[in-house]
Amino acid sequence: MSVQSHDQAGLAAGLRTSDKPLGRDDLARLVARDIKPGSFVNLGIGQPTLVSNYLKPEQNITLHTENGMLGMGPEATGDQIDGDLINAGKIPVTELPGASYFHHADSFAIMRGGHLDICVLGAFQVSATGDLANWHTGAPDAIPAVGGAMDLATGAKDVFVMMTLLTREGVSKLVETCTYPLTGIGCVTRVYTDKAVFLTGPGGVQVRETFGCTLEELQAMVPVPLTAAPAVGS
């Protein structure tokens, strides 16, 4: 076991890729960079939408919006605004050459059928085994609204979550077991936070990189066991 520990120490030393926590835009830039060229991607409402600002044309990414479109372009401005052309957040958007429109059952068949490579979602909590809670606080007076969250979580080949690691009260949103109502079970594959990137799955939680903290400091904030991920491509 000492060999493994030694490896872990070596890996942990190379994990810190930034001296300070990442801001929302830096995190969006990182997610955009990690999306493989040619992917079909759905970006959830809120923070994940920022990712589109950092996708490069040479990545050749096709964006899906669940209200019925592939090939969605940037947000519409001025004369481009057309009430018949909106995204899932009901914001006017544009179409890119090669775009297509389809009805709602087809749009969700695209998700459920496993045709999307990646969806990027926000979260209230993610568990160590990749369970996701992002639709409902469960508060008794809250009016529940789910939209396409469960379909996205269940359908895409990879589910990336973007969130701050800690709540405003300083509690970790990466948890052993979600206490908020679940969106999907074992669906999250990566968690991008301001303090670290985590890989989740049946083997537990691995840390790919940290921002402004060491693995030890990170472990002190998070109530699930963390290990350093083997470096990719080394």
Partner 1 sequence: MLNFPENVNEAVAGIQDGSTVMIGGFGNAGQPFELIDALMDCGAKDLTVVNNNAGQGDQGLALLIKEGRVKKMICSFPRQSDSWHFDAKYRAGEIELELVPQGNLAERIRAAGAGIGGFFTPTGYGTMLAEGKETRILDGRGQVFETPIHADVALIKALKADGKGNLVYRKTARNFGPIMAAAAKHTIVQVSGIVPTGGLDPEIIVTPGIYVNSIVKVA
β-strands 125-127, 132-133: how paired?
Answer: antiparallel
Contact call for residue 108 and partner 1 (CB under 8 A): yes
Query: CA 132 to CA 182: how far, in whole Å?
Result: 6
Contact call for residue 143 and partner 1 (CB under 8 A): yes
Alpha-helix runs per DSSP H in the chain: 2-13, 24-34, 104-112, 149-155, 215-221
Query: CA 169 to CA 129: how far, in whole Å?
Result: 24
Q: Which stretch binds partner 1 (CB under 8 A): 19-27, 55-63, 81-89, 206-214?
A: 81-89
β-strands 93-101, 16-18: how paired?
Answer: unpaired
Tell me if residue 66 is catalytic: yes
- Residue list 151-190, contact with partner 1 (CB under 8 A): 151, 154-155, 181-185
Contact call for residue 36 and partner 1 (CB under 8 A): no
Among positions 23, 46, 147, 223, the unique one binding partner 1 when judged by CB under 8 A: 147
Q: Which stretch binds partner 1 (CB under 8 A): 49-57, 60-68, 117-125, 223-231?
A: 60-68
β-strands 226-228, 40-43: how paired?
Answer: unpaired
Contact call for residue 85 and partner 1 (CB under 8 A): yes
Which positions ≥6 away from 79 have C-beta within 8 Å? none
Q: Is 23 helix (H, G, I), strand (E, B) or coil?
A: coil
Contact call for residue 76 and partner 1 (CB under 8 A): no
Contact call for residue 69 and partner 1 (CB under 8 A): yes
Q: How far is the CB of 221 from partner 1 (least distance, A)?
A: 27
Contact positions toward partner 1, by CB under 8 A?
A: 65-69, 82-86, 90, 95, 101-105, 107-109, 111-112, 136, 141, 143-151, 154-155, 181-185
Question: Which residues are catalytically annotated?
Answer: 66
